[in-house]
Structure formats: C-alpha cells, structure tokens
Chains A and B, each alone.
Chain A
Amino acid sequence: MRIDRRTLIGSALAMTLASRANAQEWGKPTPAATSVDRPDWPPPEHFPLWPNGAPGTPDTLPVPHNTMNGPAGDRQLWLYGVPEAFVAVYRPKTPNGHGLMSIPGGGYGFLSVQNEGMDIARYYTQRGYTVFVLIYRLPGEGWAQRWDVPLQDAQRAMRLIRARASTWGIDPETLGIVGFSAGGHLGASLATLYDTKVYEPVDADDERSARPAFAGLCYPVIDLSIDKSHSSQNLLGPNPPADAVARYDTSRQVTAKTPPLFLVQALDDPLVNPDNSLAMLASAREAKVPVEAHFFEEGGHGFGIEHLAEGLPANLWPELFALWMAKHGGGAATPA
C-alpha cells in the first residue's frame, strides 16, 4: 500500500473509530473491488451533477480506489478517488412525498458512503422519505478552487433534485438535508451559503433555490478555525486565500434566513470538538433561527445509525430527527 498523507489520515480516523468502547479490532482496509463483503454500490438509480464536465476539472481525473474498512464482519465502504459527482437515489416503498439529501463525511479525504449514506437511506426510506445520497468531489483530488468544490456539488444537487422532484413525487419545497462530520460542514455550508455563487450556471435548473428546508448536522465540523484537523486541511489545502478561509467558518455565515437546524453531537467525540456544534447553536439562537441540539454523553465520532453500542441514548437520534423534520415541513410525525 502506498503510504501518503491521505492514507495516514484514513488510518488515524480508523484508529479513532476503533477506540470506541464496543468496537472490535479494525483490520487493514482492503480494496473494495476485490472484497467479497462490499455492498452493492452505487444503487441502480443515480444521476450525474455535471453532464458536461464539472467546474475546475483537472487534466487527469481522480481514479477510484474504494476500500472496505472496520472490524471483520462489520466492515464498511469508503470512497476514495471521486472522478464524477453524482446523486444516488433510494426510493421508499410507501412515499410520504418528501425528500432528504444525506451528505456523508470522511474528513474531505474520503466518503463514508455506507455508514453515512446507505444506512441513512435505509432508515429514512422506511419512514417514507425519498433519500438522495450526495457523492461530492473531494477537494484534494486536483480540482481548481478546491475549497468551493464540495459546495458546488451540494448546491447543484439541491437544484437538480428540485428540478426533477416530480420524478419521485416529492415536494421540492420541503427538501431537507442531513450531513455528517465533514459532510456536516458541507451541510452547514449549504444551509448558510446556499445563495453564494460558487459556479457559473450550467442550465435553467441553476435558477432554482439551493436552500434546504431544514438541516440536520451530526457531529459536524462547523468552523474550520475551531476544527484544525484534517477536514480543514483537506478542504483548504496549502496557502488558501483569506476569503475562502473566512467563508467556511459556517457559524459566522448564519443569518435570519438560515433554515432550521438540528444538531447531534456526542460529548466524548475524540475527533470533532463539540465546540463546533455549540458555536452553531449560539449563532442560530442569535439570528433567531429555529434550532434543536442533542448532546449525548457517549457515542464517539462517526456513529451514523448502525454503529452505536446497544443501550446508548444516542440510538434515539434518528427518531428524534424524524419527529423534528415533521415539524419543519418534511413528512409525518409517526412512521408509516
């Protein structure tokens, strides 16, 4: 295995995740292509964001080298090398007419697509939501203006989903998001910078709003100035311009028009400081943005829905979020 900065970061994250009290020993990652336990990915229904080429495309596109990670018997797919941004679609058996876009984390160095994408889709499709998993380009993989690359994809995804809402029978107005870790940073960026022009319009769909109806942010990176970890480094790269650095301190971008926010954080998170969520809570309250915040004592980082030890209160967060979403226009309060 080639040891570079990216694999080092991946290993550090894996070790942190493995330090969870209930976690078994994490083995070495193996290439997904040759791993028998890899999940079906991508799902049959998915669509690209930039049919005519993404903004800032490099001469050489990233090459996928996805891996399976975790303890034997409970491994998960991580995406490395994302040549093309796209949206994976998961339809519910009994649609409730609402859509939810899930934004996986991975420190802007990879995409935790199973734990924070497919697993989220499984849970919320059971509650009637049409779930869209955002596969965004990774800023360190050669794209120009790297700091804007994830937000370009997030804005464009919101606009395309809304333009095609009738395809899935969902209300474009109530489309919300849920983001995790670095995907929580991207979710917070989208919730605050939905109107900021970060790419030249491609077609008529770009006239649509990219503002989420609501945003769930799970163990999110909020301010790059608080989180000096790999997410910040991976998004900004070396010697970023000052305006890019300031832009992505998302708690400082909150206005009265920021959509309602739902924050989930474990206070024993070893990777993302809870001060991130607290900063966003304070900004939202100041701007009179509706906000709810659940700070669990235990849970660690990167727990998604499927990776919490039995008996932890944090296991209730997906249900809490479902109840809260229903109050902000998306879906029914009780499961179908």
Chain B
Amino acid sequence: MANAPLSTERFRLWPETPPGGPPAANRKGTAEPTVSVYRPPRPDGRGVVVFPGGGYVFVSQVGEGANIARALAPFGITTFVVDYRLPVDGWNRRYDVPLQDAQRAIRLVRRHADRYRIDPKKLGIMGFSAGGHLGSVAVTAYDDEVYKPVDFADTLSARPAFGGLFYPVTTLTVVPPRSQSRRNLLGPDPAPSLITRYSAVERVTVRTPPLFLCHAMDDPIVPYWMSTGLAKAARARGVAVEMHLLETGGHGFGASLPPDLTGSRWPEMFALWTKRHTR
C-alpha cells in the first residue's frame, strides 16, 4: 500500500524554546517538536496521540504516523502524530526529553479538544517500538514533573484514557542484543534509579490505563517478552489488558501487514477495544 501523505495541519508543542535546550548543532531530530493532526471524515470524539518509533535516533513519521492515522480514520478516530525530540541531540536531561514532549502533546490536545472535535476524556495514546517505550512511559509516568509548566494546558492531566503499544520496549532493565533504545535514551552507564524510572514494567499501578498490546513473536529486534512482561505486571495490578501475539509480522510493521496475515486486523480490533474504554 502506498504511504499516506503527511498532514498539513500541525502545531508546535512549546511556545518558546523547548526545555533543556539548546540542542547540539549536528542534531538528528527536530528542535521544534510538533503534532500533526489527522482528522477522520466523521469524528466520533475519540483521539489518539501517536508516538512513532525509530530507536530514539529518528521518528518514523509516515510508517508509524501518517499510515496509522489513515488506518484509524474509518473508525472516526482523530490521530495526533508527535514529532518528538530525540535524546541523542544534546538536550539537558536527555532522558526526560521524549516524555516532556509526550506529556505536553497530550495536554495541548486536551486543551484544544473543541478545535479538534474530540472529547478530552476519550484521548488515548499509541506507541511503536521506541515510541512504544515512550508510550509505556506515558501510561505510567504521566504525573512525573519533567518540565516547568508553561501555560494553562499544563494544569491538565497527561494521563491517557488508554494505551496501544506495538512491539514496545517496556523495560530498560534488560537490553536485548539489537535494541538501541536504552543507550540512546539514557546514555552510557545510567544510574539504576533512572533505569527503573523509565521501565514501565516496574512502574505499573492500579491507575495505569487499559493496555492493548500487539507484538509479533518473530520480531528480531524487540522480543515479545517485552509485551508479555508488561501484560503480566498490569494484570497483577488489575489493569485491563488485551494482547495479540502474532506468529508472523517481524518488527516495525505499523499498519502495513498484508491482508492475508492476522496482524492486518489490528486496526479493527483496536478500534473496537478503544470504543469499550471510551464509553
């Protein structure tokens, strides 16, 4: 399937310079993080803030952004794709940088819910791979104070109504051989407390929102136990969980699996599932 075009409707997260700047001159990612808005033909009040993956060295804006929005649009879901800053770009407190942008994005979308024709109570998140790590942090560290409030939006809750996590990195306590996320987020030799802080598996509580996990078990980069581990921790605390473990799909499939694979059906299941959690 051809890629969906990027949205032309976009807003910046920070009115002035983002926290922790200025970044390095030779940065790889954005210095002005934005949210791209994708409106469905018939919005039903549900919204999803999407964190694309890219191992914290790039942000997969099309495959895990615009294409996700296109897959969800038929169900009435308004999609907000975040171009978050990268921790490898020389920001202060590098590890907090993606979460700063994630919290701020959720709050800003809620602040302007009327403009986007969504119900602020029906706003959830989705994350893919490293963006799945950011998503898993967003559903567990939504109340962490990682930046100084900027305006009225920052008085609003950053707790998502639900979280969809796709082949996510859910803990940094163990580093799979081919996963770059921990080194890129935390840098070399991170303190144990920092590792724990950014490990959703360690931080799940009864207040963690419902989780929808989707992971192919032939994933060569992020092993599927990242999903089963989070599911186990969440269920132990009574958090609602749905989990689809695919035989085939690999890593980074986004919404691109061919229709003869079971994983191609996740948008419909996710749409039904989010409906149950936004009543």
Interface residues of chain A, those whose CB is within 8 Å of chain B, are 260, 267, 278, 281, 285, 290-298, 311-313, 315-316, 319-320, 323-324, 326-327, 333-334
Contact = CB atoms under 8 A, between A and B. Distances in A.
B245 A292 contact: yes
Contact of B245 (A294, A297, A313, A315): A294
Interface of B: 210, 217, 228, 231, 235, 240-248, 259-262, 265, 268-270, 272-273, 275-276
Given A292-B246, A313-B272, 11 more contacts: A267-B235, A267-B243, A291-B247, A292-B245, A293-B245, A295-B243, A295-B244, A311-B275, A313-B242, A327-B261, A334-B260
Given A313-B269, A316-B265, A323 B242 contact: no
Contacts of B265: 316, 319-320, 323
Nearest to B235: A267
Contacts, number: 69
Contacts of A294: 243-245
A290 B247 contact: yes
A326 B268 contact: no
Tell me the interface secondary structure of chain A in the complex.
mixed
A62 B245 CA distance: 42
7 contacts: A291-B217, A293-B243, A295-B244, A311-B276, A313-B273, A323-B261, A324-B262
A16 to B, nearest CB: 20
B272 A311 contact: yes
Contacts of B270: 313
Contacts of A320: 262, 265
Contacts of A333: 259-260
A175 B114 CA distance: 55
A262 to B, nearest CB: 8
Contacts of B244: 293-295
A297 B213 CA distance: 11
A313 B243 CA distance: 11
A295 B242 contact: yes
Nearest to A313: B269
Contact of B242 (A267, A311, A315, A319): A267
Contacts of A319: 265
A297 B275 contact: no
Given A316-B268, A320-B262, A298 B245 contact: no
Nearest to B273: A313
A123 B154 CA distance: 52
A156 B203 CA distance: 51
Contact of A297 (B217, B262, B273): B273
A290 B272 CA distance: 28
A326 B247 CA distance: 13
Nearest to A293: B245
Given A267-B235, A285-B217, A326-B260, A298 B268 contact: no
A297 B210 contact: yes
Sorted from nearest, which 6 A-B pairs have the closest CB atoms?
A333-B260, A313-B269, A292-B247, A297-B242, A295-B243, A293-B245
Residue among B244, B245, B246, B262 facing the most chain A CB atoms (10 A cut-off): B262
A278 B243 CA distance: 12
A323 B231 CA distance: 25
Contacts of B217: 285, 291-292
A316 B270 CA distance: 11
Contacts of A267: 235, 241-243
